[in-house]
Amino acid sequence: MYSLRYILYETWLSMKKSATMLFSAVIIITTALSLLGFFIVSQNFLKVVLKDIENNLQIVVFLEDGFNERTLKEVIIPSVKEYPQVSKVDYIDKEQAREELKKDISELNEIFSVIEDNPLPSSLRVSVSAPEALETVAERLKKENGIIIDEITYGGENVRNFLKASEKFKQFSVIFLTLFIITSVIVTSSTIKLTIYSRKSDIEIMKLVGATDWYVKWPYIIEGVVLGLFSSFLAIMLVLFLKNSAALEVAKSIQFLSGFNSEISMLEIAWKLLVVGILQGIIGALWSASSILSEKE
């Protein structure tokens, strides 16, 4: 009980004594944690993009005018729906196509009002479940259906490349994150080590009068926790500020990214940074204090 009181007092004295060094430590740890924060944000960003792409894996089949609409609706669409990789088939007739275009590009309203004929083709929007299925389904659509297809479009190659790249990014992320955390612990440990070295003679005196290793270590561990807490707090503020800053406002203006800002939970980032920050502080302090205490042995 009294020991706790003394240890807190020792922590206070020790922090007061190395205030400048602690300030540098806060800057270093805050920078490291902020990078981690941005990394989490960018991962979430990628998740949103991937989700959007996966939800919109679609083949558009433009139909040549003059097809039999009844055959299309009663035979072809149900048969396409039976394809194992197809999740949905929507028929967009010429009129719907025009309305959608007018909605997307309002400037066209005037043009459409003077053109009597609708130049837009009818189409089928075939949604598939996986990017690998795009090409197979497109080929099958071309071969198997008795409809006159004008053109088939899908971002097959690009989508596949993007998904491949993002898969690689995910794998590298894990390696990067592990290396990053190890590096941060080493940086924290070295910084705390410097503060301990500056009080080496104090530690020597403590040991001479009979202080146990833990009595010596505790103030540094508490110091590590305080460092971690304070640095995490600063990093959270920085990430929050930048997340809401102009750069992401631009991202917001891109339609499919509109939900991005609200989809990233700041609470999730905050607790992750707090846990990493505090753990970094504790591990760093324990590591450096133990290595200094064992030097004599």
Partner 1 sequence: MIEFNEVSKVYDNGIVALNNISLRIEKGEFVFLIGPSGAGKSTFLKMIFREEKPTSGQVFIDSRDITPLRRHEVPYLRRNIGVVFQDFKLLNDRTVGENVGFTLQVMGVNPALINNQVTKVLDQLGLSTKKRMYPTQLSGGEKQRVCIARAIVNNPAILITDEPTGNLDPYISWEIMKLMIDINSKGTSVVFATHNKELVDRMRKRVLVLKDGRLVKDEQRGNFDYDSV
Binding site for partner 1 (CB under 8 A): 2-3, 5-6, 13, 17, 201-202, 204-213, 215, 296-297
User: Side chain identity at 88, as an amino acid letter?
Assistant: K
Residue 15 or 274: which CB sits closer to partner 1?
A: 15
Residue 20 or 71: which CB sits closer to partner 1?
A: 20
Query: Which two structure tokens, joined as six digits, stand for 123?
Result: 């189409």
Residue 110 or 297: which CB sits closer to partner 1?
A: 297
Query: Which two structure tokens, joined as six digits, stand for 50?
Result: 């991937």
Per DSSP bridges, beta strands 58-63 and 86-92 are unpaired
Q: Write down the least CB distance from residue 196 to partner 1, Å.
A: 15
SS3 category, 87: strand
Are the CB atoms for 286 and 221 separated by under 8 Å? yes
Q: Write down the least CB distance from residue 165 to partner 1, Å.
A: 53
Residue 17 or 272: which CB sits closer to partner 1?
A: 17
Are the CB atoms for 123 and 62 separated by under 8 Å? yes
Residue 49 or 211: which CB sits closer to partner 1?
A: 211
**Length of the chain measured in residues:** 297
Q: Write down the least CB distance from residue 207 to partner 1, Å.
A: 7
Residue 132 or 202: which CB sits closer to partner 1?
A: 202
User: Side chain identity at 62, as an amino acid letter?
Assistant: F
Concatenated DSSP letters of 89-112: EEEE-HHHHHHHHHHH-TTHHHHH
Q: Write down the least CB distance from residue 210 to partner 1, Å.
A: 4
Query: Which two structure tokens, joined as six digits, stand for 73?
Result: 């609706």
SS3 category, 33: helix
Residue 262 or 294: which CB sits closer to partner 1?
A: 294
Q: Write down the least CB distance from residue 200 to partner 1, Å.
A: 12
Exposure string (b/e) for 27-43, b if CB count within 10 Å is 16 or more?
ebbbbbbbebbbbbbee
Q: Write down the least CB distance from residue 185 to partner 1, Å.
A: 25
Q: 11: closest CA among 26, 27, 23, 22?
A: 22
Q: Write down the least CB distance from residue 288 to partner 1, Å.
A: 18
Are the CB atoms for 77 and 61 separated by under 8 Å? no
Q: Write down the least CB distance from residue 178 to partner 1, Å.
A: 33
Residue 22 or 126: which CB sits closer to partner 1?
A: 22
Dihedral pair phi/psi, residue 146, rounded to 5°: -85, 40
Q: 189: closest CA among 221, 216, 165?
A: 221
Dihedral pair phi/psi, residue 86, rounded to 5°: -95, 130
